[in-house]
Amino acid sequence: MSTNPVAPETGPLPGVSPSTAELARVAAERAAEQLAPPAPVRLADVVPAPERVHPDPAGDFTLPPDAALRVSPAGRDVAEQLAGWLRPPTGFPLPVTDVADPGPDAPLTLTVSAAGGTTGGDAPGGDAALGDEGYRLDVTATGVRLTADTPAGLFHGAQTLRQLLPAAVESATTVAERWTVPGGTIVDRPRFPYRGAMLDVARHFFGVEDVLRMVDHLARYKLNHLHLHLTDDQGWRIAVDSWPRLAEVGGATGVGGGPGGWYTPDDYRRIVAYAARRHVTVVPEIDLPGHTNAALVAYPELAPSKTAPPPYTGTDVGFSYVDPADERTYAFVADVFGEVAALTPGPWLHLGGDEAFKVPAASYRAFVERAQALVAATGKTVVGWHQLAPAEHVDGRVLQWWGTNGDDPETADAVRRGARLILSPGNHAYLDMKYAPDTPIGHDWAGLIDVRRAYDWDPGDHVHGVPAEAVLGVEAPLWTESLTTRAELEFMLFPRLPAVAELGWSPRSTHDWAGFRARLAGHGPRWATAGITFHPAPEIPWPTTATKIPRQPTGPVRPTTLTHQD
Ligand code: TNX
């Protein structure tokens, strides 16, 4: 098996004791070395688990070197992406040809069509429409046929097909392999419409390439939203033309005194366009009224004291806020929201709202209500952390739950008044939490989150008094106070991100820890081949040549100083 788990930027700094990046790299290398060649993929091995799977062992299909993708016009871009994934490992030319009405029995071809009005009605065992994101995959001895009502559905189906090929499909170079897809039918669609992850680019800045790679990670597991936490005390990461010092001054810092950085409008457009092609919607967050030290350094007029605070490079929270009593603050908010909304094609604008501890409750609420109205004035829908709950409802408002006890009467009340909820419970979905006491990076204020803890909860009944119908979906936040490299991000994301993805996508009836850990195990060789760093979690039965479970990274454990209250 070809393995290349090491991202180039993960080497240790000269003269420094093993960095956390180095520890993550060593762990990933050990994990990759010990992985045995995977067993043949089975149709039911897909993560997240599909709604319906009907294997047909007589229907295995082996891709021939002259395979072609025949595609209806609406599916063209998805077919090009699929061909782009398959050409390097197979070495096959895989031409993509337009066929207005692809025949169902085209031999030895992959057929991709956004048929429009397609349903799963003739599928064994059900009659549900595929909807906005569903797909149907038929693998027979003569070919593979993928159908969906939308390009997004086709894209998710293409990711499923990718997972059904041998792990060597992740290789960047040609591999001699029988490219067999297990026979049968999958009819699939998501449980929740919103499935996402958040990247905190404010505590430590991550450049465009790192963000694009994160989009690819999301897309593999059918996550369809990337929430970017663009502003915080330690840095302001998006250029705003009408307030240029926000990025120029506020963007120049980061946790630990690093160089910072920010996205130009073109950088941000690039991220948004790359995500859109992968059917991922970007959700920008401008965190207000707290978590604003970087903005106050840039524009002291926004500070209650009207004097600039020193730049902040530590990891405390809750000390900063924009002046809720000054009209200039609302001009600032309107300008920033206006520019960010104009750059963002998606429907959401996240206004933060967490941990504004120094703002009295009445002023906080008045501020939030004005900020919500300013979001609505841009045409976007309000998203905010669940601390927004006491404020009045605005059309479509979505709260993001990050509490740890599932019990919050104010949130339940906001839901009764019309809010919907994104579930990011700190003690299950916070991927910046350590896996175990000896995890060298991450926090533990919300507890330790091993893979089972990330998987074993139900978004549909998690918050007391919030019915499943009010749940828009799930999101896994990745805060970066202690994360500085791409390898460290991946080490925290894998293998927990697929666990959260499965909670968002798969019907509850498929929920099964034993089955999940067995399916997930087969992804280790895929990540290793793709060069993705991952934590070789001991509770997952990775395919190993030795019976030994890969060792955990060891070494200096960074002290965790964060404490939070919800
Ligand atoms: C809480 S969750 C925060 C963030 C921290 C995070 C660290 C939330 C809305 N606020 O400011 O980065 O904990 O885990």
pLDDT of amino acid 98: 81
pLDDT confidence of 47, banded at 50, 70, 90? very high
CA of 477 to the centre of ligand 1 (A): 9
Whether 432 lines ligand 1, by a CB cut-off of 6 Å, is: yes
Model confidence pLDDT, tens digit, residues 212-271:
999 999 999 999 999 999 999 999 999 999 999 999 999 999 999 988 999 999 999 999
Contacts of 319 (CB under 8 A, 6+ apart): 233, 293, 357, 358
CA of 216 to the centre of ligand 1 (A): 24
Distance in angstroms (rounded) separating the CA atoms of residues 375 and 442 = 33
* DSSP conformational letter for 428: H
CA of 237 to the centre of ligand 1 (A): 17
Q: For residue 281, what are the β-bridge partners? A: 225
Pairing mode, if any, of strands 143-148 and 135-140?
antiparallel
Tell which atom from ligand 1 comes closest to the C-alpha of 481.
12
Model confidence pLDDT, tens digit, residues 439-496:
999 999 999 999 999 999 999 999 999 999 999 999 999 999 999 999 999 999 999 9
Distance in angstroms (rounded) separating the CA atoms of residues 516 and 503 = 11
List Cα–Cα distances, 2 to 174, 447, 533, 546, in angstroms: 10, 36, 15, 18
Lowest-confidence segment of 15-19, 294-298, 459-463 by average pLDDT: 15-19
Annotated catalytic residue, options 51, 355, 475, 490: 355
Asked if residue 551 has pLDDT above 50, the reply is: no
Asked if residue 554 has pLDDT above 50, the reply is: no
pTM of the model: 0.90
Pairing mode, if any, of strands 348-352 and 281-288?
parallel
Asked if residue 117 has pLDDT above 50, the reply is: no
Lowest-confidence segment of 142-146, 299-303, 434-438 by average pLDDT: 142-146
Angle between helices 486-493 and 208-220 in degrees, nearest 10: 20
> What's the whole-number average pLDDT of the chain?
89
Tell me the best of 317, 350, 566 to mutate to test the pocket of ligand 1, counting ligand atoms within 8 Å of each CB and taking the most: 317
Model confidence pLDDT, tens digit, residues 172-197:
999 999 999 999 999 999 999 999 99
Amino acid at 504: G
pLDDT of amino acid 36: 61
Model confidence pLDDT, tens digit, residues 74-110:
899 999 999 999 999 999 999 998 876 555 555 446 6
Distance in angstroms (rounded) separating the CA atoms of residues 27 and 518 = 21
Whether 355 lines ligand 1, by a CB cut-off of 6 Å, is: yes
Contacts of 205 (CB under 8 A, 6+ apart): 235, 237, 251, 254, 258, 259, 260, 261, 262
Q: What's the average model confidence in pLDDT over 512-530?
A: 97
Catalytic: 355? yes
List Cα–Cα distances, 440 to 477, 485, 536, in angstroms: 19, 14, 14
**426, 566 contact by CB (below 8 A):** yes
Q: Taking the CB of residue 361, how many other CB atoms lie within 10 A of it?
A: 9
Angle between helices 76-90 and 151-164 in degrees, nearest 10: 20
CA of 42 to the centre of ligand 1 (A): 39
Q: What's the average model confidence in pLDDT over 58-68?
A: 93
User: Which residue, by CA, sits nearest to atom 2 of ligand 1?
Assistant: 402
Asked if residue 15 has pLDDT above 90, the reply is: no
Whether 564 lines ligand 1, by a CB cut-off of 6 Å, is: yes
| Residue 401 in tokens | 């739950």
Whether 385 lines ligand 1, by a CB cut-off of 6 Å, is: yes
pLDDT confidence of 8, banded at 50, 70, 90? very low
Distance in angstroms (rounded) separating the CA atoms of residues 411 and 390 = 8
List Cα–Cα distances, 58 to 107, 141, 157, 166, in angstroms: 16, 7, 21, 18
Q: Nearest CA to 231 among 273, 275, 290?
A: 290
Most confident of 10-14, 15-19, 428-432: 428-432
User: pLDDT over 90 for what percent of the chain?
Assistant: 81
pLDDT of amino acid 343: 98
